[in-house]
Structure 1
Amino acid sequence: MLNSTSGKTGFCMKKLFAHRGMSTLAPENTLAAFSLCHQHGIKWIECDVDILSDGTVVVSHDDTLDRCTDHSGSLYDMTQADLTEIDAGSWFHDDYIGEPLPTFEQLIELVNQHQLNINVEIKSCTAGWEMTDKLLTNVTSGLEKLDSERELIVSCFNHLALAEFKRRRPQTQVACLFESATLGDDWQSVLQACEADYIHPEDEGLTREMVESFKAAGYKINVYTVNDLARANQLFNWGVDGVFTDIAHRFPSKYKQS
């Protein structure tokens, strides 16, 4: 007997998340990378958000500028006025010279314009709880501008912060992120404490038995970061609901329908 996930209906239900946008075609976490999702038929994007010293929420994986811009230094020392001087694209390709470091507000506008769905990863703010609290407040405020038709998941590795976000915005589906090294036997208690709808485990070390345990407990599963088509196919056949990938454009069309 065939596994039900191998049927056409099962494939249509799978989610394909463009990890930091189309991050192999354009600089990660930029408006250019997210805009390409619409062009390639990708309905879900994943982005990272952190905060500047003046409370502006920006789209950035790192809390420093060093890796993905032409500047160096901490986000927590910057203000929104400084963004005009930041080039977040020239490191990637000449076509993206002058690409800005986007604000969360700009991203929400793009998501609404292109009718995308979004997974917002709130970064584990390293500037302390005061800044983390401000990040949660301002992300919550920013999400009020998201069109009601857009689907939304908010995820975080900092489960204390995620639980606080869920308390403030209970209508939003949330996901607990786990690295393989931190996914302990107490995972269900953590998800329950966060009132989570999803578990987002790391691909490395993930087994069919683990997937079955998550499913049996009633949780939906999105796996990061899957850049191998055969591995993605295997995970989908095991029953995972979605995968985060840097190569969304290489996936067959059957994965781009939801």
Structure 2
Amino acid sequence: MPHPDISLPRLIAHRGLSAHAPENTLAAVRAAHATGCTWVELDVQLLGDGTPVIWHDAGVRRCSDASGRLADLDLPTARRLDVGAWFGDAFRGERIATLAEMLKLIDECGMGLNLELKVNRGRSAAALVEEAVPAALDALPPERLIISSFNDDALACTRELAPASRLALGVLFEGIGRGWRSRCTELEAFSVHADWRRLSRRGTTAVKDDGYALLCYTPNDPAAFAHLWQWGVDAAISDDPSRFISHLP
């Protein structure tokens, strides 16, 4: 089945330009755009009141000035968090981004988005899909959107909402081991997303021979990553894509 006509860049900014701005924030996406990145990878999950927000962890301690579970927050409470000061004074006062705000910014910048459905322990995959995926489909054209996840329930629910011709799905793996092909076939996947440190040449060749795009997370050393370009990897999802520019094939 045909997929959207996605022209992947070699480099995708991980959680925005997270080496230079607080991850998963509007500031990080603006920074990525300013440096010439055309695609970003971001995480989405739900607050306790069901609002989809751009956030990675189950809790807020690591990337804000508070502690506690994201699932225990409603939007007004989450808005009071400072999610930039932990990274640096220049970002003090940065607020958590809703999915709606982020989609608006990405569309205004003309960027592509790899949106990872982050289903943390005890959270509903179906509820996340219901709130996040239709909004992304409405905001961005098919050629500028990939929905990815480690969670097969989330990916299956997503596929029920849109056929492969309308929406590209990326299946996340740590390593490409037994069973990868059946997962991708069942979900009519567009791409495989793998930990670059656990890729083998044999696994890479198998993925490419089967016609999938292959994206790697999260390389930040272009010299150590160089051999993977030779193996046929399509894109690197990096905290600092600019480091790779002089090392591209």
Query: TM above 0.5, one fold?
Result: yes
1:14 and 1:149 map into 2 onto residues whose CA distance is 15
Deviating more after overlay: 12-21 vs 81-90: 12-21
Is the 2:43–2:54 contact (alpha carbons within 8 Å) kept by the matching residues of 1? yes
Is the 2:174–2:195 contact (alpha carbons within 8 Å) kept by the matching residues of 1? yes
Is the 2:222–2:247 contact (alpha carbons within 8 Å) kept by the matching residues of 1? no
* Alignment match of 2:18 (pick from 20, 23, 27): 23
Amino acid in the other structure paired with 1:143: A
Match of 1:137 in 2: 130
Structure 1 pair 28–230 and aligned structure 2 pair: CA distance change class (3 A): same
Alignment map for 1:164-243 (pairs within 5 Å): 164-170=157-163, 171-180=166-175, 183-243=176-236
2:162 and 2:192 map into 1 onto residues whose CA distance is 18
Percent of residue pairs bearing the same amino acid type: 35
Is the 2:220–2:243 contact (alpha carbons within 8 Å) kept by the matching residues of 1? no
* Alignment match of 1:100 (pick from 91, 95, 101): 95
* Alignment match of 2:153 (pick from 147, 160, 166): 160
Deviation per CA, 1:145-178: give whole Å up to 9, x if none.
Answer: 4242761111000112212211112221001101
How much does 1:104 deviate?
A: 0.6
Match of 2:3 in 1: none
Match of 2:69 in 1: 74
* Alignment match of 1:64 (pick from 47, 59, 68): 59
Amino acid in the other structure paired with 1:103: T
Gaps of 5+ in 1: 1-11
1:70 and 1:77 map into 2 onto residues whose CA distance is 16
Q: What secondary structure, in the 3-state scheme, does the structure 2 residue paired with 1:251 have?
A: helix
Is the 2:9–2:38 contact (alpha carbons within 8 Å) kept by the matching residues of 1? no
Amino acid in the other structure paired with 2:239: D
1:250 and 1:189 map into 2 onto residues whose CA distance is 35
* Alignment match of 2:244 (pick from 248, 251, 254): 251
Is the 2:142–2:167 contact (alpha carbons within 8 Å) kept by the matching residues of 1? no
**Cα RMSD after superposing both structures:** 1.8
Match of 1:5 in 2: none
Say how many residue pairs are matched: 240
Moved over 3 A (4+): none
Gaps of 5+ in 2: 1-6
Is the 1:200–1:224 contact (alpha carbons within 8 Å) kept by the matching residues of 2? yes
Does residue 79 of structure 2 align to residue 84 of structure 1?
A: yes
Amino acid in the other structure paired with 2:243: R
1:150 and 1:110 map into 2 onto residues whose CA distance is 17
